[in-house]
Structure 1
């Protein structure tokens, strides 16, 4: 049974203007790093309202609930705290997104920030400006700027669905237009080992949407030795096999040719 959002009874939140962006943060076992992610959202210089949704996905650590409660009580007009039984990353994201779209018709786009990552202060302003400037784009995705362990890579340039079928070039930390979800594209909860973001964006592409990359997004990805990404990279062949089975049309020779035209 899903629980309702935390609503502090001892505070009278001041109504704010309708948010344009809802930032969804799924949380499970990242209580130590969570405050950094939250603070980076609160520090956004967007020029428009942003709603932050914290989704506690049945985290067993008491510190997670304490951190979320403290922030929700301190910023009741800007932060919504949702608690639910553990269902996995995709389920937590879907839960937060559905709440945002139902609660705020003004929301034009959803941004998903994992609890161990961060945003630069202008990230949402940069991404929303790009989404407004390119009405044909279903989502805006970043060049991944990693911190933590050493990493090198470049996901920049024009979006290519052909390349996207070979590489997971679109991070979950992308700004996604509301219409993508309205079209029935959601995170597949059967993906438990990672690359659920790859599957999501390929599903969006099959629905007719395309992404657009910007260099100055302002997304900071924390590269850690032990993480879901590290686990998924170890099982990359198995996950790619699942991907090819689910998206047969995209991965077929005829599909690759038609999409690349």
Structure 2
């Protein structure tokens, strides 16, 4: 099926006589760099953007990336010499005017003009804007730190895989400001992970709700203090922290 689609794209590119390429690379779930290649051309008086292939990157230097691009085009029977435009991100290895991919490609195909991808340019603008808003900057900084923490260690990944993910679900149910606060269904997985029996959890949740109701708890800081009257829930909190 993939071969049939690539052949159709190849035939359309040949009819168009000229085309442009868009290339980017990213890591897959196995942490392997993959190069994605898209061609843009005119067919039946309409612009087409068609995905060609994901191909593993054997190297991230300019020459290795360029060879992968040429190999993919050749595999799809597309003559790279008819390329008139190349679009990449602003990374030096791609956009470098001395030895970047775009410059090396132009040495072989002089009419292949380089254009800095507008989507990447917009992303740079947005990143710069949000970095000047403290709350958003801290939010994305926290997300990045969490990603770095889990992706840097197999142990960390395994700790929060499978059943252990229930811990993260249970955390939200311990937040008085969250709509699932003290929701037994959300807390069960977390409690089981820490060896808390279901009946004990039910009893303490019932007691907590009664205490909160008597103290007029409404999701404020008083609710946190109330949690100290429930040793099982408190144990879950302390073990997680």
TM over 0.5: no
Give the number of the structure whose alpha-carbon radius of gyration is greater.
2
Select the structure that is richer in helix: 2
TM-score if structure 1 supplies the norm length?
Answer: 0.27
Considering Cα pairs closer than 8 Å and 6+ residues apart, tell me whether 1 or 2 has the greater RCO: 1
